[in-house]
């Protein structure tokens, strides 16, 4: 559990480490003006999109050969692709295409975190799965929180290209730790006995619940990512002072992750005790109640406090979603189901900034926040309909 936590922390931080200076790195490759902004957007989205598209393929292999081999495969491959980004300057202005191609490959070979989640979900005692998955989710959140600030400092100290090499080495260490210190109780299934994805889904007793959980994964990422493209500009409209604007924006963006990190394992325990489906409904209702007022704030402090409170809703949702997925899925297909949930999350990572920036650009920042909160409200209504027959039960099984 703890070695897997360290691995998820390294992977989570490795993705966010390079984010603060990636646009500057693209400019360093000779791309300037609006083209630099355009290629930065492609570089940001490409890995998440590729990861989402291939997640079901890796999930099927994980069900056949085990989650640990997929974790090792992902960390070794990401180590190489991240490290080779460092030689992008050798290609001159074509280096940007080298970078984007490697970001695509990184997404294609990713899968450490969903397979780690599936492994812990399949091995943790059923009555402790919410706590275990909540604890594991803090690894990625902590890594994502620390990554941007650490990446900015490392870029100043060692140079931007060298940061990619350092991150590649960290991912290699992750792979070695996984090989030698992570133990999985996996019993291979003969190919003739292997369930197809369709058969796995048919064995899920509550398919409407499964669909609802996938939608929750998607909307959860939309709600957390949609504000990021314009958060600095929105804060600028809330304050007459531009001093420390980037620092304040970073704090406000990170506030969600901080509170989610603090609360996830505790909320996972509560879900184990009182029912993960009930906690999901409370988490969605709370998220809507906190998100909507962000459109009507007057100061950066008010926005920051609301973003911090939003993290408690996020901390309630992901462990509960993963716990329910583990409970309703046959063990022969748990990796594939978690791969599909990761796919939905990644599509949310891509869709969130697109939706937020499109509405903000065409209309206003405040309307973009209102639209995102409506997504959360629709998810609550959908989930309430799905869970209504089980509201008087501690479990949906």
Tens of pLDDT along 163-172?
899 999 999 9
Kindly calculate the radius of gyration of the chain based on its CA atoms and give it in whole angstroms. Answer: 21
Around Cβ 149, how many Cβ atoms within 10 Å? Answer: 15
Q: What is the mean pLDDT of residues 289-308?
A: 93
List pLDDT tens digits, range 349-372.
888 888 888 888 888 889 999 999
**Tokens 């920036």 appear where?**
357
Nearest 5°: the CA angle 197, 202, 204 is 100
Residue-level pLDDT at 193: 67
Residue-level pLDDT at 279: 92
Residue-level pLDDT at 298: 92
Domain ranges for the chain: 1-183, 197-396
Residue % of the chain over a pLDDT of 90: 23
Residue-level pLDDT at 239: 79
Residue 37 has pLDDT above 80, yes or no: no
List pLDDT tens digits, range 68-83.
999 999 999 999 999 9
Which of 52-66, 69-83, 195-209, 228-242: highest mean pLDDT? Answer: 69-83
Which of 144-148, 217-221, 295-299: highest mean pLDDT? Answer: 295-299
Write the burial class of residue 366 (CB in 10 Å: 0-12 exposed, 13-18 middle, 19+ buried): middle
Residue-level pLDDT at 273: 85
Rounded to an integer, what distance in angstroms lies between the CA atom of residue 375 and that of residue 83? 38
Q: What distances in angstroms separate CA 245 from CA 231, 234, 235, 365, one per listed residue?
A: 10, 11, 8, 17
Domains 1-183 and 197-396 are alike in CATH topology: yes
Q: What is the mean pLDDT of residues 211-216?
A: 89
Weakest mean pLDDT among 56-65, 107-116, 160-169, 189-198: 189-198
Residue 63 has pLDDT above 80, yes or no: yes
**120-128 long-range contacts, Cβ below 8 Å, gap at least 24?**
120/1, 120/4, 121/322, 121/323, 121/325, 121/326, 121/334, 121/338, 122/67, 122/326, 122/331, 122/334, 123/184, 123/185, 124/326, 126/326, 126/327, 127/272, 128/272
Q: What distances in angstroms separate CA 77 from CA 24, 38, 160, 337, one per listed residue?
A: 25, 27, 21, 23
Rounded to an integer, what distance in angstroms lies between the CA atom of residue 324 and that of residue 395? 9
Residue 305 has pLDDT above 90, yes or no: yes
Which among 138, 85, 74 is positioned nearest to 107, based on CA atoms? Answer: 74
Residue 133 has pLDDT above 90, yes or no: no
DSSP string, 1-32: -HHHHHHHHHHHHHHHHTGGGHHHHHHHTT--
Average pLDDT, the chain: 84
The CATH H-level superfamily of 197-396 is MFS general substrate transporter like domains (1.20.1250.20)
**Tokens 């603060």 appear where?**
20
Provide the H-helix boundaries in 239-299: 245-274, 276-291
φ, ψ dihedrals at 197, nearest 5°: -60, -40
Q: What is the mean pLDDT of residues 247-271?
A: 79
User: How would residue 173 be classed by pLDDT, with cut points 50, 70 and 90?
Assistant: very high
Residue-level pLDDT at 83: 93
Contact 340, 213 (CB under 8 A): no
**22-31 long-range contacts, Cβ below 8 Å, gap at least 24?**
24/160, 25/88, 25/99, 25/160, 25/161, 26/96, 26/99, 28/89, 28/160, 29/88, 29/89, 29/92, 29/93, 29/95, 29/96, 29/99, 30/92, 30/93, 30/95, 30/96, 31/93, 31/96
List pLDDT tens digits, range 94-124.
899 999 999 999 989 988 988 898 888 888 8
Which of 198-212, 300-314, 321-335: highest mean pLDDT? Answer: 300-314
Rounded to an integer, what distance in angstroms lies between the CA atom of residue 371 and that of residue 364? 11
Residue % of the chain over a pLDDT of 70: 94
Pick the CATH number of 1-183 from 1.20.1250.20, 3.60.10.10, 3.40.50.720, 1.10.3300.10: 1.20.1250.20
Q: What is the mean pLDDT of residues 213-219?
A: 89
Rounded to an integer, what distance in angstroms lies between the CA atom of residue 206 and that of residue 277? 13
Which among 375, 372, 263 is positioned nearest to 319, based on CA atoms? Answer: 263
Residue-level pLDDT at 295: 94
**Prediction pTM value:** 0.78
Residue-level pLDDT at 20: 63
Rounded to an integer, what distance in angstroms lies between the CA atom of residue 165 and that of residue 307? 33
């Amino acid at each position: 559990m703890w070695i897997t936590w360290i691995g998820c922390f390294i992977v989570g931080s490795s993705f966010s480490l390079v984010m603060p200076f990636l646009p500057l790195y693209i400019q360093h490759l000779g791309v300037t003006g609006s083209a630099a902004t355009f290629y930065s957007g492609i570089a940001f989205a490409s890995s998440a999109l590729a990861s989402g598209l291939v997640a079901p393929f890796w999930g099927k292999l994980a069900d056949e050969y085990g989650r640990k081999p997929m974790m090792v495969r992902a960390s070794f491959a990401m180590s190489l692709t991240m490290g080779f980004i460092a030689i992008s300057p050798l290609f001159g202005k074509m280096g940007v295409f080298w970078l984007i191609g490697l970001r695509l490959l990184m997404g294609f070979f990713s899968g450490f975190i969903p397979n780690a989640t599936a492994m812990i979900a399949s091995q943790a005692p059923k009555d402790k799965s919410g706590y275990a998955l909540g604890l594991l989710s803090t690894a990625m959140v902590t890594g994502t929180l620390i990554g941007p600030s650490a990446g900015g400092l490392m870029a100043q100290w060692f140079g931007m290209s060298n940061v990619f090499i350092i991150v590649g080495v960290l991912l290699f260490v992750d792979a070695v730790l996984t090989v030698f210190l992570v133990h999985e109780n996996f019993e291979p299934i003969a190919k003739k006995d292997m369930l197809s994805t369709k058969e796995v889904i048919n064995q899920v007793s509550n398919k409407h619940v499964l669909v609802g959980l996938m939608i929750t994964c998607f909307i959860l990422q939309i709600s957390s990512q949609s504000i990021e493209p314009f958060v600095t500009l929105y804060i600028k409209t809330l304050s007459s002072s531009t001093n420390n604007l980037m620092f304040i924006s970073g704090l406000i963006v990170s506030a969600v992750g901080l509170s989610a990190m603090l609360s996830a394992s505790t909320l996972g325990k509560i879900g184990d005790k009182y029912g993960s489906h009930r906690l999901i409904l409370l988490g969605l209702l709370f998220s809507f109640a906190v998100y909507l007022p962000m459109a009507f704030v007057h100061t950066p402090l008010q926005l920051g406090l609301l973003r911090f409170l939003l993290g408690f809703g996020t901390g309630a949702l992901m462990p509960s979603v993963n716990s329910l997925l583990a409970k309703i899925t046959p063990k022969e297909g748990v990796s594939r189901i978690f791969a599909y949930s990761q796919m939905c999350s990644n599509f949310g990572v891509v869709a969130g900034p697109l939706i937020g920036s499109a509405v903000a650009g065409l209309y206003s920042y405040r309307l973009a926040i209102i639209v995102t909160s409506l997504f959360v409200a629709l998810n609550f209504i959908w989930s309430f309909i799905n869970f209504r027959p089980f509201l008087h039960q501690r479990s949906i099984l």
